[in-house]
Amino acid sequence: MGNQALQGIRIIDLSHSWAGPHCSRIFADFGAEVIKVEYVRRLCLLRGGRKDEKAYDKHVAWCQVNRNKYSVTLDLKNDKDHELLSDLIRSSDVLIENSRTGVMAGLGFSYEDVRQLKNDIIMLSMSAFGHTGPYASCSGYGAVMEGIGGIQSLTAYENSGKPLRIKELDITNGVAGACAVMNALFYRSRTGKGQHIDLSQLEAATHSLIGEHLLEFAMNGSCSLPTGNRHWKYAPRGCYPCKGSDKWLTITVRNQDEWQRFCEATGKMEWLTDKRFSNLESRRQNHDDLDMEITEWTKNKSPSGAMRILQAYDIAAAAVLDMEELVANSHLKKRGYFASVEDGEEKKIMGFPFSFSDSPGKVRWSGPELGFHNQFVTEKILGRPTEEAPSFSEDEVGTAFDPETE
Amino acid sequence: MQDTILKDIRVVDLTHFTAGPYCTKLMAGFGADVIKVEKPESGDAMRGMGPFFENQEDPEASIPFLWLNTGKKSITLNLKSNRGKNLFKKLIGQADFIVENFSPRVMPALGLSYETLNSINPRLIMVSIANFGNSGPYSDYKADEMELQAMSGLMHLTGDSLKSPLCSGPSLCQYSAGQHAYLAALMALFQRETTGKGQHIEISIQECSLENIEISLTRCLQTGQGARRGPHMMVPWGTYECRDGYAAVIAMPYRHWHHAVDLFKEPALYQEKFATLRERIKHRDEYENLLCPCVKSYKKKTLFNRGQQMGLSFGYVADLDDVMQSPQHQARGYFVGIDHPVVGEHKYCKAPFLSSLTDWKSAEAPLLGGSNSAVYSELFEYSEKEIKLLAEQGVI
């Protein structure tokens, strides 16, 4: 194995919550030195609300999303800390922030300010709606962008049912941000120039989730979604109850050949000659009847047992896995997906979203304790005397929620 | 015209359907020369999938194909013929990337494993995307989008707690994988600037998708605690019915939530027992029963605007018409008109993000084999006559 892909790259991470920190997590996993700047009086919400026994240092969400990072505590309204950050920027390649439009400028760290400190800096701004336009100053969490982006309107149990959320958008947006930074790093390696990226989380999520559906609407004036667990074209497609509480199997039959094999696999050869199910059109018309018949077949089987029966006939079928089942999943184990932390903690952790033949991902440590690297950053990175290192007292620490919220 | 990021980069694109094509769509948009290699006659199976423009079945009018293949060239090539394979290897000699999302057995069976391709071109970066990766007991399993959502924990977490798990409408697992594939490709390209060497990137759609639930999954790994679909943990945090649709009412930023008193004038909402988040979580139903009529009295955009004016992160559920008309999208030029010889000009989403020095290249998706003449004459110096002969012999 060779070096890590991002070795030698230093990133200052001023982002909070999930999307920005997820973006910098990927860089940290693949070798970049990510220095997370924290504000003691209002901690990142991933540190939770509790202060007792420094619960904010142990929060699972924090430890996962900020693994491999350095933590330094700075108050950017304080001149000395402002100067420390300026110094850090002078020695960095990338600056990541996801504040509301205008916040960075108010702190004296707009792109123009930052460029004065480091001419070829790459700055990624990932605000909710972008830095321009009538919504520029609005704030947004996932539920806001998912709604306003039209993403939410495409998922419901029935076509006219209540639109439901599909997931937080932070991963989609974090990865889009990481793509933007990689683009800019490559461009800098060829031209010597840095640049500013104005990423609108609304736009990035829309692009990478529903671009095809917006095009369908633009072309046809309508959209084939939502369809619940059914498909606008294939039949049968559904999620069927199995033996046990909240145990389910999904099945997708995409063409007549698969239908033939599905009937063989289930041993229901009579379905092949049943007029209600003989072709795609009739199966779509009689989907309710078909679902009842399929449920008769699934209801006394385990999801994984039924999945194996159907997969043996090359039918797309899957057990709906919950968290416990994923943790114990034999496929993921066999692939060596789950990892552990290199610093000796006995913690099981998630692995990496992709693997390179010649540049390993690594998890050296979990999300750091608040200000854990204050000394290191001051002395080793900035070369300043140890007494200049930031410090704080426990009384100053404030969380993003009521102190009793997990 | 500004510069593009990947202007000197050539991509040989063997992808089909969604995950692979989204990766190479991004490459084309950021300026790479993407040569999509399609099967003669039928091409990418997405051409036959639809939905189609004006609902007329036509391999040049499949809407997801038109979206996923903007800015690429298309050539046809029969990889099962020996002459086709030789042409393909010559193409590889002139490429920076090969991207493919066949099932894991296909490339080795064609005699086109990474080892073979790397021996032709040591600088080549190969990106392989498969549903469950190229190893492990599920590596040959068949899956459509719903099966991917089922096997990556997303489906278990989507929908109402009293109903079945729900598959989300958008193909989020496949798009997630395409996006991750682009990121990994750029990392390898960046590293090649110093090492001079290519490498092989392996993408499992299942493992990319797990990233979406990293917090729930890590919690279960470390504490054994599970997670289930249902309302968001925090209260209020979700979409509530209003006069003309649904509005998103989010109690964030937390420090500004008290301003909501000016919007929702129901005194019972401000009782001592609802004062903290923990208490609201404890009395979720009671609290939401009081809140719902207040939200219901508003129109969705009014509530969004009023909430935002108070510093609250409110939103609303837009339908696709709202999105196409969005003043924010219009102000930022998010939609771009692209003309296409078969379906005509329509509005497409442009770039996923804006960069100050580099631009996005907008161009239509290719007709099947539309660049045969150009590519085979430019890269292999074939004459028109020779190209015609290759087509007659079933090589291209």
Measured at the alpha carbon of residue B9, what is the angle toward residues B8 and B10, in degrees to the nearest 5? Answer: 125
> How many residues are listed for chain B in this entry?
396
- Put simply, the answer to whether A197 touches B354 (Cβ < 8 Å) is yes
Task: Indicate if the alpha-carbon torsion angle B180, B182, B185, B190 is positive or negative.
Answer: negative
Task: Report percent pLDDT > 90 for chain A.
Answer: 93
Residues A152, A296, single domain; the answer is no
| Residue A167 confidence (pLDDT) | 85
β-bridge mates for residue B248, sequence order: B239, B315
| Residue A343 confidence (pLDDT) | 75
A368 pLDDT more than 90? yes
A195 pLDDT more than 60? yes
Which of A140, A179, A217 faces B183 most closely, judged by CB atoms? A179
* Distance of alpha carbon B117 from the chain centroid: 27
Q: Is residue A368 part of a domain?
A: yes
Residue A349 belongs to domain spanning: 10-211+337-396
Mutation pick from A7, A144, A315, A402 vs chain B, by most beta carbons of B within 10 Å, is: A144
Residues A370, A308, single domain; the answer is no
Query: Which of A273, A294, A321 is the last residue before a domain boundary?
Result: A321
Residues B121, B153, single domain; the answer is yes
Q: Omega into B253 within 30° of 0, i.e. cis?
A: yes
Query: Which of A321, A354, A380 is the last residue before a domain boundary?
Result: A321
Mutation pick from A179, A189, A224, A340 vs chain B, by most beta carbons of B within 10 Å, is: A179
Task: Report percent pLDDT > 70 for chain A.
Answer: 99
Residues B311, B374, single domain; the answer is no
* Mean pLDDT value of segment B308-332: 96
Query: Which of A265, A286, A321 is the last residue before a domain boundary?
Result: A321
CATH number assigned to the domain comprising residue A167: 3.40.50.10540
Report how many domains make up chain A: 2
Q: Is residue B219 part of a domain?
A: no
Q: What are phi and psi of B338, to 5 degrees?
A: -125, 130
| Residue B341 confidence (pLDDT) | 98
Residues A260, A121, single domain; the answer is no
How far is the C-alpha of B182 from the C-alpha of B25, rounded, in Å?
9
Average pLDDT, chain A: 96
How far is the C-alpha of A30 from the C-alpha of A353, rounded, in Å?
11
Residues B18, B113, single domain; the answer is yes
Residues B318, B198, single domain; the answer is no
Q: Is residue A3 part of a domain?
A: no
Residues A31, A110, single domain; the answer is yes
Could you tell me the pLDDT band of residue A346, with boundaries at 50, 70 and 90?
confident
Could you tell me the pLDDT band of residue B344, with boundaries at 50, 70 and 90?
very high
Query: Which of B289, B322, B355 is the last residue before a domain boundary?
Result: B322
- Put simply, the answer to whether B168 touches A166 (Cβ < 8 Å) is yes
Locate the DSSP E strands across chain B: 10-13, 33-38, 73-76, 97-100, 125-130, 200-204, 237-242, 245-250, 315-316, 335-338, 346-349, 354-355
Residues of B (275-314) whose Cβ lies below 8 Å from A: 276-278, 304, 308, 311-314
Q: Is residue B327 part of a domain?
A: no
Residues A262, A391, single domain; the answer is no
Residue B175 belongs to domain spanning: 10-212+332-392
Q: What is the pLDDT of residues B242-257, one digit of tens each?
A: 999 999 999 877 788 8
CATH number assigned to the domain comprising residue B99: 3.40.50.10540
CATH number assigned to the domain comprising residue A276: 3.30.1540.10
| Residue A406 confidence (pLDDT) | 63
| Residue B1 confidence (pLDDT) | 56
A233 pLDDT more than 80? yes
Q: What is the DSSP letter of B153?
A: T
β-bridge mates for residue A318, sequence order: A250
Mutation pick from A261, A326, A354, A356 vs chain B, by most beta carbons of B within 10 Å, is: A354
What residues of A are in contact with residue B179 (Cβ under 8 Å)?
Answer: 172, 175-176, 179, 208
Residues A187, A59, single domain; the answer is yes
* Mean pLDDT value of segment B172-200: 98
Q: Is residue A206 part of a domain?
A: yes
Which amino acid, residue A148? I
Q: Is residue A239 part of a domain?
A: no
CATH number assigned to the domain comprising residue B275: 3.30.1540.10
Query: Which of B322, B343, B376 is the last residue before a domain boundary?
Result: B322
Q: Is residue B260 part of a domain?
A: yes
Of the ranges A237-241, A336-340, B258-262, B309-313, the best mean pLDDT one: A237-241
pTM of the predicted structure, to 2 decimals: 0.98
Which of B150, B203, B224 faces A354 most closely, judged by CB atoms? B203
Residues A127, A272, single domain; the answer is no
Contact of B200 with chain A, judged by CB distance below 8 Å, is answered with yes
Does the model's ipTM exceed the 0.95 cut? Answer: yes
Measure A265 CA to nearest chain B CA, in Å. 14
Residues of B (323-352) whose Cβ lies below 8 Å from A: 323-324, 326-329, 331-332, 334, 343, 346-349, 351-352
| Residue A405 confidence (pLDDT) | 66
| Residue B288 confidence (pLDDT) | 94
Residues B251, B204, single domain; the answer is no
How far is the C-alpha of A289 from the C-alpha of A286, rounded, in Å?
5
What residues of A are in contact with residue B357 (Cβ under 8 Å)?
Answer: 187, 193, 195
Residue A104 near residue A125 (C-beta atoms within 8 A): yes
Could you tell me the pLDDT band of residue B278, with boundaries at 50, 70 and 90?
confident
Residues B313, B372, single domain; the answer is no
Report how many domains make up chain B: 2
Residues of B (73-112) whose Cβ lies below 8 Å from A: none
Q: Is residue B315 part of a domain?
A: yes
Residues B67, B202, single domain; the answer is yes
Residues B62, B21, single domain; the answer is yes
| Residue A224 confidence (pLDDT) | 96
Helix (H) or strand (E) holding B265: none
CA dihedral B328, B330, B333, B334 (to 10 degrees): 70
Q: Is residue A389 part of a domain?
A: yes
Q: Is residue A116 part of a domain?
A: yes
Residues B262, B336, single domain; the answer is no
The candidate with the shortest Cα–Cα distance to B191, out of A344, A42, A188, A5, is A5
The candidate with the shortest Cα–Cα distance to A64, out of A339, A321, A323, is A339
* Mean pLDDT value of segment A18-38: 98
Residues A43, A152, single domain; the answer is yes
Measure B25 CA to nearest chain A CA, in Å. 11
Could you tell me the pLDDT band of residue B134, with boundaries at 50, 70 and 90?
very high
Residue of A nearest to B332 (CA): A133
Q: What are phi and psi of A232, to 5 degrees?
A: -70, -15
Q: Is residue A328 part of a domain?
A: no
Q: What is the pLDDT of residues A160-180, one digit of tens each?
A: 999 999 988 999 999 999 999
Residues B367, B262, single domain; the answer is no
- Put simply, the answer to whether A354 touches B180 (Cβ < 8 Å) is yes
Measure B166 CA to nearest chain A CA, in Å. 6
